[in-house]
Amino acid sequence: MAQVVSLIQGASRGIGLQFCQTILKRHPNSVVIATCRQPDNSLGLQELKAKNPDRVNLCVLDVNEDTQIENVAKFTKEKYGKLDLLINNAGMLHTSGRGETSLREISRKGLMETFETNTAGPLLMAKHFAPLLKLGSGYFGIKPADSKKQHCSVLVNMSAKVGSITDNHLGGWYSYRMSKAALNMCSKNLSIELGRGSKPVICVSLHPGTVDTDLSRPYHKNVPKLFTTEYSVDCLMDIVESLTISDTGKFLLYDRTVYPF
Ligand SMILES: NC(=O)c1ccc[n+]([C@@H]2O[C@H](COP(=O)([O-])OP(=O)(O)OC[C@H]3O[C@@H](n4cnc5c(N)ncnc54)[C@H](OP(=O)(O)O)[C@@H]3O)[C@@H](O)[C@H]2O)c1
C-alpha cells in the first residue's frame, strides 16, 4: 500500500506528541512529519524517532516564522510529493500561561502573540500546505457510497470549546477565546476555498476535551473530567478517520458533537 503522510505541528509535547504516537500505532503504513520549535529538546520526539527511524521526520517549525513553514513544505514536497493529514496543533493560552480574568490584565503584546500562534500560524500553514493536501490520497476520512466527490485529505485545526461565541457565558480569557473563535472562522473559510473542485480537502476544527497537559495545568484542580492525552487523541483520531465531505467546515467536540460557533 502507498505511504500515508501526516504532518503534526506543535509536536514537542502534550496533544501534538500524542498525535504522532497514536498515528504511527494505528496506521502501520504511515509516516509522520513531526514539527516543533526545538526538536532536539523534545525527549518524546527523540524517543519516537529512535524507535521508528524510517517513519518519523523531525523538522524545525515555529508557526510564527514563514520561512520555516516554507522550508518544511518544500521538504514534504520533495520527499513525499503529497500530504494526507495536516494537524495544526500548536497553541498557547496566553504569554503569561494563564487566561486573563478581567480587562485590567489585557496587554497588546499578550493579545497579539496569542493570535499569532493560535490563529495566524494555522492559516499560514494552510497556505503553504494546501497544494500538497490537494495531492493527498483520501486515506483519512471515508467516502459515503452516495457521494460523487472523493476528498483528497484532511486538515484539522485544534480549537477549544471556549472559542465558541454561542457558548460563552462566563467571559474572561480574552486572548485565547478570541484567537480560537477566529481560528474557527479560519476552518470555515478553508472548507469553502479548499472544498472547490473535484478533490476537496475536509477542513474541521476539533476540541480535545480538557486534557492533562502543560497548557491546562494551572486549572487541573477545578476540572471534573481531565482526559489523558491517549484518551483524547484516540477520540480525535476516531473522528478524523470517519469524517466525510459533509463534515467539512464543522466544529466538533472529542465525542463528535457538532458544536455551535
Ligand atoms: N489541553 C487542553 O485541555 C486543551 C483544551 C482545548 C484545546 N487545546 C488545544 O490543543 C492544542 C494542544 O495543546 P496542549 O494542551 O497539548 O498544549 P501544550 O502541552 O502546552 O503544548 C503546546 C504545543 O504548542 C507548541 N507551540 C507553542 N507555540 C508555538 C509556536 N510558535 N510554533 C510552534 N509550536 C508552538 C509547543 O511547543 P514548545 O514545546 O516549543 O513550546 C507545544 O508543542 C492547542 O492548540 C490547545 O489550544 C488544549
From the CB of 31, is ligand 1 less than 6 Å away?
A: no
Is 258 inside any structural domain? no
From the CB of 34, is ligand 1 less than 6 Å away?
A: no
How many Å lie between the centroid of ligand 1 and the Cα of residue 199?
Answer: 30
Is 76 inside any structural domain? yes
Is 261 inside any structural domain? no
Is 260 inside any structural domain? no
Is 99 inside any structural domain? yes
From the CB of 84, is ligand 1 less than 6 Å away?
A: no
CATH number at residue 240: 3.40.50.720
- The predicted pLDDT at position 224 comes to 86
- The predicted pLDDT at position 149 comes to 80
CB burial string 191-222: b at 16+ within 10 A, e below: beebbeeebbbbbbbbbbbbbbbebbeeeeee
Adjacent-strand bridge partners of 33: 7, 57
How many Å lie between the centroid of ligand 1 and the Cα of residue 175?
Answer: 15
Is 123 inside any structural domain? yes
Q: How confident is the chain (261 residues) per 10-residue block, as mean pLDDT? A: 90 98 97 98 98 98 98 98 98 95 96 98 98 97 84 98 97 98 98 95 98 93 92 98 97 98 98
Residue 134 CA: distances (Å) to CA of 72, 85, 111, 152, 178: 17, 11, 33, 6, 29
When divided into structural domains, the chain yields a total of 1
Other Cβ atoms closer than 10 A to 40: 10
Domain enclosing residue 82, as ranges: 4-253
From the CB of 216, is ligand 1 less than 6 Å away?
A: yes
Per DSSP, the three-state class of 258 is strand
Adjacent-strand bridge partners of 156: 87, 204
Is 200 inside any structural domain? yes
Other Cβ atoms closer than 10 A to 155: 25
Is 259 inside any structural domain? no
- The predicted pLDDT at position 229 comes to 98
From the CB of 240, is ligand 1 less than 6 Å away?
A: no
d(CA 248, CA 187): 9
- The predicted pLDDT at position 1 comes to 53
Q: What angle in degrees, to the nearest 10, is found between the helix axes of 14-26 and 229-242?
A: 60
